[in-house]
Amino acid sequence: MTDASWARTYTLTVPTEKAARAVADRLAERGHLLTAVRIVDHFSFEPGNFWYGKPSMRPEFSGWWDVFSVVLDDQVMDDAEKAAVADLARESGGISGGAGSGHRDTVLQIFNRTGLVHELTPSQAARRRPAPMPVAAAGELPPGPPLESRPAPDLRGELIAVTECCAGDGGDGAGTGDLLGDLFNAAMHQGTCYPHTAGMVPVFVELAADDRLGDRYRGWVLMDLFLIASVGRRDLASMADTLRALGKPAVEAPEAVAAREAVTAAVPGLLDRWEEASEHERFLLAALAAACSMPAPDLGTIRDNAVGTTREATIRLIDELAEGTLRADAEQRALGVLMKDLGSELG
């Protein structure tokens, strides 16, 4: 019997009640302690409930069924189980709503048992849990050496450059980082692309080419341009299961296409800085160019320094994106991976 103090919760959405009950059976077979099934928006049909008669929050899933489950485990989150649940959702024509975690007693207390299908004892659940898959030992790769940067210029010069582009006065004691954050939020609030996003690209491009910025803030701006150029394809990757389940085509949103094209048009001008750019700037420029399916002038030095380090895979990914050798779905996922890699380099 497990003595886990933590529990994990999973949610799946599938097309029919029959599929939902079959999924609940499979989850119970995997040792999920509790499983319940309810039609989507169940409580909006229940007189007296707060949600009764209210508009659906998920109208695209009208008539579909949700499956809810709980797993007891010492691990706060288990990637292997998340992947297995997502696979089960796809096999059933549905989607995984993700996973959550919390203290065991709290999760068990608040789990809604309406539509309960299976309730195992902790000992039954523990016996059914799959054994952990052995992981082959792998050699640890050392991190790449720090990317060489130019000394930061005058801090006031950086602040003036950003306030000029933001058409503001830098009041209320806002620093350079705060202003850049506000600028990105105006263009891509919470990472979402809008019809006006493309029109703001020239502001970021002007900043990226401004010699008053040091590598730290220039890196932020180049990362912002990467996010703008790749947002539509990254969204497609995150929505792939939902689009497939709903039978919708995987088409990049028009505003995201416009934003990507605006960045793509500016990349050649930014690459003109290559000879004078530091290694840090070149690394980010190469990633930005790759997001726009353009090769950088020369990655040789960075690539040579990355051999045998954790950065080697990142450089290889930049090359593959720039060369256009990836399938569309692989490219969409790769842009998300590269985004995380760039974030780790920015610190």
What is the average per-residue pLDDT within 165-176? 69
**pLDDT surpasses 70 at 257:** yes
Question: How high is the pLDDT of residue 130?
Answer: 86
Residues 78-121 pLDDT 10s: 678 999 999 999 999 999 998 888 999 999 999 999 999 999 99
Q: 69 pLDDT band (50/70/90 cuts)?
A: very high
- Alpha carbon distance 231, 234 (integer Å): 5
Instruction: Tell me if 207 sits within 8 A of 309, measured CB to CB.
Output: no
Residue type, 209: A
- Alpha carbon distance 41, 53 (integer Å): 10
Question: How high is the pLDDT of residue 302?
Answer: 85
**pLDDT surpasses 70 at 4:** no
Which of 32-36, 73-77, 293-297 shows the lowest mean pLDDT across its residues? 73-77
**pLDDT surpasses 90 at 201:** yes
Q: Residue for token digits 């499983």?
A: 35
- Alpha carbon distance 264, 225 (integer Å): 10
Instruction: Tell me if 9 sits within 8 A of 100, measured CB to CB.
Output: yes
**pLDDT surpasses 70 at 231:** yes
**pLDDT surpasses 50 at 171:** yes
Which of 16-25, 29-38, 127-136, 227-236 shows the lowest mean pLDDT across its residues? 127-136
Work out whether strand 116-119 and strand 34-39 pair parallel, antiparallel, or are unpaired.
antiparallel
Q: 134 pLDDT band (50/70/90 cuts)?
A: low
Which of 47-61, 188-202, 261-275 shows the lowest mean pLDDT across its residues? 47-61
Q: Residue for token digits 């399938």?
A: 327
Neighbours of 246 (CB within 10 A): 14
Residues 216-225 pLDDT 10s: 999 999 999 9
Cα separations in angstroms, 233 against 152, 206, 329: 34, 25, 9
Question: How high is the pLDDT of residue 1?
Answer: 39
Question: How high is the pLDDT of residue 2?
Answer: 45
**For the chain, what percent of residues have pLDDT higher than 70?**
93
- Alpha carbon distance 10, 86 (integer Å): 10
What is the average per-residue pLDDT within 287-308? 90
SS3 72: strand
Question: Is residue 69 within a helix (H) or strand (E), and if so which, with residue range?
Answer: strand 65-73
Which of 33-47, 94-108, 153-167 shows the lowest mean pLDDT across its residues? 153-167
What is the average per-residue pLDDT within 286-314? 91
| Mean pLDDT of the chain, nearest integer | 91
Q: On the CB side of 109, how many CA atoms lie within 13 Å of its CA?
A: 6
Question: How high is the pLDDT of residue 117?
Answer: 97
